[in-house]
Amino acid sequence: MIGNFFSFPGGNMKGSYIIAGLIFLLIAGLVGAEYHATTITSDGSVMLSSAGSDENGSMISRVMALDSAKVSRTSENGIDINEDLSVSGTGPVLFTEFVSGAVKNSDIQSRCSFLDETDDKILAEASSVISGILQHGEVKSSRKVGQSFSDMMETNGSGMVFMGSQMNGNRSMISQGFISGNMTIRDLLKNGGKI
């Protein structure tokens, strides 16, 4: 039936099956990742939360906006877990985000012929938390969890923000901060991969 549908005048049946197989592979590739997009404009209140995890790490975010607000969020669960969030409001905006991840040496194969499993030794772990209350303003964030993880946040407004991050491994680093008043903040944390 498929062969008759894709057959060409004067063509052979094998070519028709190859074309049908390529079309099915293309469709399967397009539906391989989960994608979710939300856009909200409100003059009341908005509350959104999301969470995701895989074998390399996890992330969670919550946001609440009162009065007039615009919220835009996109989430993708494919090879990596990605989320982008943008919130702007004329009234109070509350937000909190947490992301954690680990860099593993899963690319290193065992040299013993009796063992076929890789040694997933954790080389480094990192986590980041950002939480705040803005009287008014805008918050943009982008998170990715996978073979490497990153957490980026931009804030422009007036209020209070707490930030903290740590990396443990061969080298360790801890960072904490508290900001209040009128502010413009851009914070980026990346663990693994290249910048």
Report the domain count for the chain: 2
Owning domain of residue 17: 1-32
Residue 74 and residue 124 in one domain: yes
Q: Are 3 and 48 found together in one domain? A: no
By the 10 Å C-beta count (0-12 exposed, 13-18 middle, 19+ buried), 187 is classed as middle
121 plus 187 within the same structural domain: yes
Same domain, 69 and 144: yes
- Clarify whether residues 85 and 2 are in a common domain: no
Does one domain contain both 106 and 159? yes
Out of 30-34, 75-79, 183-187, which region has the weakest mean confidence (pLDDT)? Answer: 30-34
Same domain assignment for residues 79 and 59? yes
Residues 27 and 38 reside in one and the same domain = no
Q: Are residues 6 and 62 in the same domain?
A: no
Q: What confidence tens digit (pLDDT) does each residue in 137-153 have?
A: 999 988 887 777 778 88
Please write the tens of the pLDDT for every residue from 82-138.
888 899 989 899 988 888 877 665 544 445 545 555 555 666 777 888 899 999 899
pTM for the predicted model, two decimal places: 0.66
- Which residue's structure tokens are 């549908």? 5
Decide: residue 91, CB within 10 A, 0-12 exposed, 13-18 middle, 19+ buried.
middle
